[in-house]
Each structure stands twice: as structure tokens, then as C-alpha cells.
Amino acid sequence: MRAEDLRARVERRGDATVVRLDGVLDVDSSPSLRSAVLACLAAEPSVIVLDVADLRHRDDVALTVLPALAQHAAAWPGSAMTLAAAPPQLASALDRMAVGRSVPVFPTTDAALKSTTGAAERMRLKLQPMLDATSAARHLVGRACVRWGVDRVRDIAELVVTELVSNVLRHAGTDMEVGVARDRRLLHIAVRDHAPGLPRLGGGKRPTAKVMATAGAVPGQAAAGRTPTEYTAVEPEDEPLREDGRGLLVVSALTHAWGCTPVPDGKVVWATLRI
């Protein structure tokens, strides 16, 4: 089975995205589904609806990609992911694999679009790579925390966004977009830049990894069909931790989860805090 035998047709519905799948989902084609969903996440939709009316599956194991993608969407950018219009054979397999515990299943696409429970509220700010970018980002995050009634994590959130923006200033040097979002459980902070380099934790030589997040950050991500967060290196290993940007070690220590998602014109480095 070739990966191109699974086709994805993407439709924007306001702040939501519908992905109509056609073909066979199996171990070989699941990377195509993953790529299609990650490409949709780059636009930060409130919800992604996978219309699976024309989807067939070769084995139940391939369906484990669905909870992994939902977990990635929830971590960044805080988007909900749902399934719609599953035919009887696929619906039975989804039930056997308990996919519905983490990915809501609706009878129709319209029903899924009407249910945006868990969709995140968002605030965004575009910034140039100038010294005052860190203070502007802190102000955005602080204002969001007050507006959404999560002031108790404000200090940590402001520190985290300072580190993420400082990384862009030191290593990417491009325009950036700072985003902050809130759902029922998490505060999401993300900084999108236009440089290709992908980050890793500093503080000594480390092998390149495809998944790095704080312990317990994305349950089940180590299972088959996981959705990896990929990155290589940004911070020089011999760069001291500085007061104006103590690096991703601080982000890792303070957050529930963090990671980096490549997007077509650069990358998004994101972090989540429990609220």
C-alpha cells in the first residue's frame, strides 16, 4: 500500500478545519495522515474534524495514530480534534481500540463542527526581532492570564514566553508571532519564527531526539503510531545561561510539556502550563 493511496482534502470552515479522508489507513499510510493533520495545525484552527466516511483501515493498530494526533493537537496549538461519519466497520474498530476515549466521534461533520467543547481562546501578537520584543510578549501573556482568570500562573507564563522569545532573538533573528491560548486544563504559549533550525535542551552533548517533553507531558506518545515532536539543535552547548534568556532548560523545568513543531516557513516552539 502506497502512502498516496490515502488522500486528504482540506476545507476551512471559519476557525475550524475539515479534513475529508479517502482511501486506506494502515501502517504505511499513517505518516500521510500525520503530515496532513500537522499541516492543518500550522494555521491553529479551533477544531479539526476528520471526516472518515470514505476511510477504510487495513488493521486496527493503524488507528492508534488518531489518539496520538489528538494529543499533539491538544498540546499545541490547543486545538480539539474529532472524528465524523465513521461507517459501521470503522466505527466498530474505533470502539475496539477505545479511540473514542480521547477523540470524540460524531455521526456527521456538521454535528462535530457544532461541538467545540475544549476549543481554546486565543490571543496573538506579531513582533519584529528587536530588544523590546520580550517585554511586549510578557505584556501579552500577562494580560491574557488576567483576562482568563489564571493569574496564579502569570509569573511562570511570563518567564516562559521571555525564554522562547529570547531564543528567537539570539538564534533565529526573524519576525515572530507570539500566541497564548487557554482551554479547560492548560495555558498554551507558542512562539513561531521563520528560521529552519530546530531546538534542543542545552547543557552538554545530547543525541538528537524525535521526542522530548517533560515527564508525563503527552500520555501514550511512546505507543505505536505516536506523533513525535522533532528538533535538533539551536543553543550552542558552551553558551552560558544568561539572565536575559536562560534557555530551554528553564522552559523544560517550569512547564507541563514543551516541544517544537516544524511548519512550512519555519517552526513553532510551544509550552503548556497546568491551570
* Residue 259 or residue 139, greater confidence: 139
Range(s) within the chain of domains with CATH label 3.30.565.10:
121-274
Pairing of strands 6-13, 16-25: antiparallel
**Of 38 and 53, the one with more pLDDT:** 53
- Residue 243: is its pLDDT beyond 70? no
* 230 pLDDT higher than 50: no
Q: What pTM was estimated for this model as a whole?
A: 0.70
Q: Which residues of the chain are in CATH 3.30.750.24 domains?
A: 3-114
- Convert the pLDDT of each residue in 48-62 to its tens digit: 999 999 999 989 999
Are 195 and 172 spatial neighbours (Cβ–Cβ below 8 Å)?
A: yes
The Cα angle at residue 105 between residues 17 and 110, in degrees rounded to 5: 50
CATH topology of domain 3-114: Transcription Regulator spoIIAA (3.30.750)
pLDDT of res. 261: 87
Per-residue pLDDT at 198? 76
Least confident of 37-46, 102-111, 179-188, 209-218: 209-218
Tell me how crowded residue 181 is: count the other CB atoms within 10 A of its CB. 25
**DSSP state string for the chain:** --GGGEEEEEEEETTEEEEEEEEEESTTTHHHHHHHHHHHHTT--SEEEEEEEEEEES-GGGGGHHHHHHHHHHHTT--EEEEE---HHHHHHHHHTTGGGTS-EESSHHHHHH--TTPPEEEEEEE-SSTTHHHHHHHHHHHHHHHTT-GGGHHHHHHHHHHHHHHIIIII-S-EEEEEEE-SSEEEEEEEES--------SS----BS---STTSSTTTTSTT-----B---S-TTPPPBTTB--HHHHHHHSSEEEEEEETTEEEEEEEEE-
Task: Give yes or no for residue 213 having a pLDDT over 80.
Answer: no
> Which fold is adopted by the domain 121-274?
Heat Shock Protein 90 (3.30.565)
Task: For residue 201, name the pLDDT band (cuts at 50, 70, 90).
Answer: low
Q: Rounded to 10 degrees, what is the CA torsion of 103, 117, 144, 140?
A: 50
Better-predicted residue by pLDDT, 211 or 170: 170
Confidence of residue 44 (pLDDT cuts 50, 70, 90): confident
Residue 226: the pLDDT is 33
How much of the chain exceeds pLDDT 90, in percent?
62
Question: What per-residue confidence (pLDDT) applies to 263?
Answer: 85
pLDDT digits (tens, 9 = 90+) for 79-126: 899 999 999 999 999 999 999 999 999 999 999 998 865 556 889 999
Q: Residue type for 170, please?
A: R
Q: What is the pLDDT of residue 23?
A: 96
